[in-house]
Amino acid sequence: MDVRINDILEMKKNHPCGTKTFLVLRVGMDFRLRCTGCGHEIMIPRSKAEKGIRKINRPTESVE
Each residue's pLDDT, cut to its tens digit, for the chain (64 residues) gives 889 999 999 999 999 999 999 999 999 999 999 999 999 999 999 999 999 999 999 887 656 6
Residue 53 inside a domain? The answer is yes
Residue 25 inside a domain? The answer is yes
Q: What's the rounded Cα separation, in Å, for the pair 39 and 63?
A: 30
pLDDT of residue 64: 60
Rounded to two decimals, what is the model's pTM? 0.85
Extended beta strands in the chain, E state: 8-11, 21-26, 30-35, 41-45, 53-57
CATH number at residue 33: 2.30.30
Residue 37 inside a domain? The answer is yes
**Which residues constitute the domain of residue 48?**
8-57
What's the total number of domains in the chain?
1
pLDDT of residue 60: 77
Residue 22 inside a domain? The answer is yes
Q: What's the rounded Cα separation, in Å, for the pair 46 and 61?
A: 25
Contact yes or no for 42/23 (Cβ under 8 A): no
